[in-house]
Amino acid sequence: WATWCAPSKAEMPHMQELPHEYVEKDSAVLAISSTNIELKGGDDVKRAKGGVSKFIERQKYTFPVLLDEDSHIAQRYNQIYPLSGIPTTFIIDKEGTIRYVRVGPFIDKKQMEAFIKLAQE
| Mean pLDDT in residue range 82-99 | 84
Q: Which tens digit of pLDDT belongs to each residue from 65-90? A: 999 999 998 888 888 888 888 999 88
To 5 degrees, how large is the angle CA 79–CA 81–CA 84?
A: 105
DSSP state of 3: T
Taking CA atoms, 56 is separated from 49, 59, 105, 119, in Å, by 11, 5, 18, 27
pTM to 2 decimals?
0.83
Q: Which of 61, 85, 63 is nearest to 74 (CA)?
A: 85
Q: What mean pLDDT value characterizes the chain?
A: 87
56-60: average pLDDT: 96
> Residue 89: which residues within 8 A CB-CB, separation 6 or more?
101, 102, 106, 115
pLDDT score of 39: 96
